[in-house]
Amino acid sequence: KAGVTQTPRYLIKTRGQQVTLSCSPISGHRSVSWYQQTPGQGLQFLFEYFSETQRNKGNFPGRFSGRQFSNSRSEMNVSTLELGDSALYLCASSPDRGLNTGELFFGEGSRLTVL
Amino acid sequence: DQQVKQNSPSLSVQEGRISILNCDYTNSMFDYFLWYKKYPAEGPTFLISISSIKDKNEDGRFTVFLNKSAKHLSLHIVPSQPGDSAVYFCAASAGSQGNLIFGKGTKLSVKP
């Protein structure tokens, strides 16, 4: 069974640009969560999607947005990039956060560098 | 305000000895707790979990203890092996649809 796939793995952007990251969950998983990992802050929750609906949202500004498609694939977008947005963005999937025990399966992440 | 705290950024242990990683939480609504392990350039992988109705869960060399009154949990690794060297994240959730809240992680180094 293929794991969670994130693309691109690495990217470099400049301040003010926007970026879109993609995540393909494990087949059959309907919930997709996004996290930002930075050296000083650990993993911070961005948002969770289930059946194309945003079910939970963390404390990030509106520049961070996401969506989920009918095949459960998800994208997150960051507009007007700032230097502080440089981080590893992790996507995680699970069969159904409402029914299971909360275990998440993570992808390898997309490393974003903002110059 | 950090709801899940891992106060030790790093821990160094000799191979064969016990590793104890600690985690504190502030939200009394948390009812499910998990530990994840992360190697460099890889995503976190699930290690072990515990429900709030239990105070101990064991899986091979890994045991998680939960002290609800102290809002504290710990992960014990016995015996520690060099391959256990990684960053360990504690996470917690409230309810069946609550998102996972992670701590900042503890970097464990197991020396041969």
Q: Given a cut of 90, is residue A99 above it in pLDDT? A: no
Q: Is A105 on the interface with B (CB under 8 A)?
A: yes
CB B63 within 8 A of CB B21: no
**Helix/strand/coil for B84:** helix
**If residue A64 lies in a helix (H) or strand (E), which one and from where to where?**
strand A64-68
| Predicted local distance difference test score (pLDDT) of residue A67 | 96
- Spatial CA neighbour of A106 closest among B2, B70, B89, B53: B89
Do B99 and A58 lie within an 8 Å CB cutoff? yes
Chain A residue nearest residue B33, CA to CA? A102
Before A25, cis peptide (omega within 30)?
no
Q: Given a cut of 50, is residue A94 above it in pLDDT? A: yes
pLDDT in tens, B1-42: 689 999 999 999 999 999 999 999 999 999 999 999 999 888
pLDDT in tens, A39-88: 878 899 999 999 899 988 889 999 999 999 999 999 999 999 999 999 99
Do B43 and A55 lie within an 8 Å CB cutoff? no
Return the DSSP state at B99: P
CB A60 within 8 A of CB A70: no
Do B46 and A40 lie within an 8 Å CB cutoff? no
| Predicted local distance difference test score (pLDDT) of residue B57 | 96
pLDDT in tens, B58-105: 999 999 999 999 999 999 999 999 999 999 999 998 876 677 889 999
Return the DSSP state at B98: P
CB neighbours of A56 closer than 8 A, spacing ≥ 6?
A: A33, A45, A47, A48, B97, B98, B99
* Cα distance between residue A92 and residue A109, in whole Å: 9
User: B-chain residues within 8 Å CB-CB of A30?
Assistant: none
Q: For the residues A98-104, what does the mean pLDDT come to?
A: 61
B103 beta partners: none
Q: Is B51 on the interface with A (CB under 8 A)?
A: yes
CB A66 within 8 A of CB A58: no
**pLDDT confidence of B48, banded at 50, 70, 90?**
very high
Tokens representing residue B11 in the block: 């821990």
Kindly state the percentage of chain A with pLDDT values over 70.
94
**If residue A91 lies in a helix (H) or strand (E), which one and from where to where?**
strand A87-94
How would you classify the pairing of strands B10-14 and B106-111?
A: parallel
Before B79, cis peptide (omega within 30)?
yes
| Predicted local distance difference test score (pLDDT) of residue A1 | 60
Do B49 and A102 lie within an 8 Å CB cutoff? yes
| Predicted local distance difference test score (pLDDT) of residue B60 | 97
Strand ordering across the sheet containing A64-68:
A5-7, A19-24, A74-78, A64-68
Mutate which: A26, A37, A47, A99, vs B, most B CBs within 10 A: A37
Q: For the residues B41-62, what does the mean pLDDT come to?
A: 93
The residue that leads in pLDDT, A3 or B2, is A3
Q: Is B93 on the interface with A (CB under 8 A)?
A: yes
Q: Which 3-state string (H, E, C) describes B29-40?
A: CCCEEEEEEECC
CB A108 within 8 A of CB A88: no
Q: Which of A42, A98, A109 has the CB atom closest to B43's CB atom?
A: A109
| Predicted local distance difference test score (pLDDT) of residue B42 | 87
pLDDT in tens, A18-37: 999 999 999 999 999 999 99
Q: Is B105 on the interface with A (CB under 8 A)?
A: yes
